[in-house]
């Protein structure tokens, strides 16, 4: 597929994206829409469904936020107005300077310059929020940050797949004092001393499975299994652990079937329908209560499903191997359940109250925003626009 065809295909999704936004907006008072990438990537504008393409289609006002930590924030904000199309520029109602450190008064002249050259009000500067690291990461680039733990008695290895999804499944493990979480970058073997290997979710399971094999990680996983090590697959990782992954409708690319790792006696058929929803249940056989959510495409069946990972509303979910070494589940977010996480890791009691900590960080962020921004003025800008 050529780049032109790829971006045209993306653009064709815009009506569905806007319809989903309208449905969400009908049930809530306020929707904050986060863009993706840079607002000034004019080379990608033709197929844009995340920035100004969406904003114009949905008539959503835009606030352009500049990260002062990266340097050149004045040029970045003013330059955005200079390079984007006039109709895109008309969607912008304000700018905001984020992650400021030091004396805010030293940026007064900068704010004036930005306002004069854009014709828009400037909010901030918003000081750096020290507890931001306690919040779930916003995108996969966070995995590049040096947040790897050390000193924990349990080593958990996770191969860094190119199309990794729902990587915040790992955050509670990263924060757990007993755990040394190792994100294994391409070009490196999975550590032979790992206590547990987790295959994470994927936006393109068959492609990531092929990549895993190219890296030789399949050999590492099989060796880990033969040595008695435990393996958990989540969503796409669950599908990879089975015998086959079939994609008859070409959901992820060319139709076809891929051989899985064969560590679970299951088979998966991908389908266009996506399963979504928050669920509550209990682990099998431990009985620990857990909360998670489903967000996957495909139907997985096979003999190992008779030994489910969990019971959800009285129904079996996931699969276990006969010896219990290998577990697969479609449930995301389960490691945020403290009691389940402690039992699963073999820790008597977890010193980490993960969700309590996230809630506390969110409350602190709310206070931070109220202290440094004119939120009433910001909210007043959140009105649908009528620009063709």
- Where in the sequence numbering do the catalytic residues fall? 235, 332
Strands 122-123 and 92-98, how do they pair?
parallel
Q: What is the DSSP string of 47-95?
A: G-SSSHHHHHHHT--EEEEEEGGGS-HHHHHHHHHHHS-HHHHTTEEEE
Residue 215 tokens read as 């890296």
Give, for 108, the enclosing helix (H) or strand (E). Answer: helix 108-118
Helix and strand totals (H; E) in the chain = 13, 18
Q: What is the DSSP letter of 142?
A: G
C-alpha distances out from residue 316 to 274, 309, 312, 323, 367, Å: 19, 7, 6, 18, 42
d(CA 155, CA 103): 42
> What contacts 109, CB < 8 A, 6 or more positions away?
none
Residue corresponding to tokens 């010193």: 351
Residue 33 tokens read as 């829409």
> Exposed/middle/buried for 180, CB within 10 Å: 0-12, 13-18, 19+?
buried
Strands 244-247 and 267-283, how do they pair?
parallel
Task: Write phi, then psi, for 186 (nearest 5 degrees).
Answer: -55, 145
Asked whether 338 and 300 are in contact (CB, 8 A), the reply is no
d(CA 154, CA 347): 10
Asked whether 94 and 122 are in contact (CB, 8 A), the reply is yes
Residue corresponding to tokens 């995301």: 332
């Amino acid at each position: 597929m050529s780049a032109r065809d790829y971006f045209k295909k993306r653009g064709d999704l815009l009506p569905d994206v806007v319809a989903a936004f309208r449905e969400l907006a009908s049930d809530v008072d306020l929707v904050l829409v986060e863009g993706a990438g840079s607002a000034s990537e004019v080379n990608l504008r033709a197929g844009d469904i995340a920035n100004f393409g969406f904003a114009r289609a949905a008539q959503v006002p835009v606030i352009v936020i500049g990260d002062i930590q990266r340097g050149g924030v004045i040029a970045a904000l003013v330059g955005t107005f200079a390079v984007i199309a006039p109709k895109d520029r008309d969607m912008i109602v304000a700018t905001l300077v984020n992650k400021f450190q030091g004396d805010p008064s030293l940026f007064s002249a900068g704010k004036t310059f930005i306002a004069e050259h854009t014709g828009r009000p400037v909010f901030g500067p918003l000081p750096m929020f020290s507890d931001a690291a306690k919040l779930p990461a916003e995108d996969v680039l966070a995995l590049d940050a040096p947040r790897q733990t050390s000193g924990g008695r349990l080593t958990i290895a996770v191969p860094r797949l190119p199309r990794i999804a729902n990587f915040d499944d790992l955050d509670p493990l990263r924060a757990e004092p007993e755990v040394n979480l190792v994100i294994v970058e391409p070009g490196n073997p999975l550590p032979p001393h790992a206590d547990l290997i987790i295959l994470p979710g994927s936006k393109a399971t068959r492609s990531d499975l092929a990549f895993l094999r190219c890296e030789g990680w399949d050999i590492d996983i099989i060796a880990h299994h033969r040595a008695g090590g435990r393996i958990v697959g989540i969503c796409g990782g669950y599908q990879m652990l089975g015998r086959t992954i079939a994609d008859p409708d070409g959901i992820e690319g060319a139709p076809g079937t891929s051989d899985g790792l064969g560590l679970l006696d299951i088979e998966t058929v991908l389908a266009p329908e996506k399963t979504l929803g928050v669920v509550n249940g209990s682990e099998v056989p431990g009985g620990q209560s857990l909360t998670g959510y489903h967000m996957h495409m495909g139907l997985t069946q096979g003999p190992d499903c008779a030994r489910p990972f969990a019971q959800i509303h009285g129904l079996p979910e996931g699969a276990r191997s006969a010896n219990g070494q290998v577990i697969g589940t479609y449930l995301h977010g389960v490691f945020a359940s403290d009691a389940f996480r402690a039992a699963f890791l073999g820790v008597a009691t977890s010193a980490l109250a993960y969700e309590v900590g996230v809630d506390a960080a969110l409350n602190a962020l709310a206070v931070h925003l109220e202290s440094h921004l004119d939120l009433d003025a910001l909210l007043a800008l959140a009105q649908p626009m009528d620009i063709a």
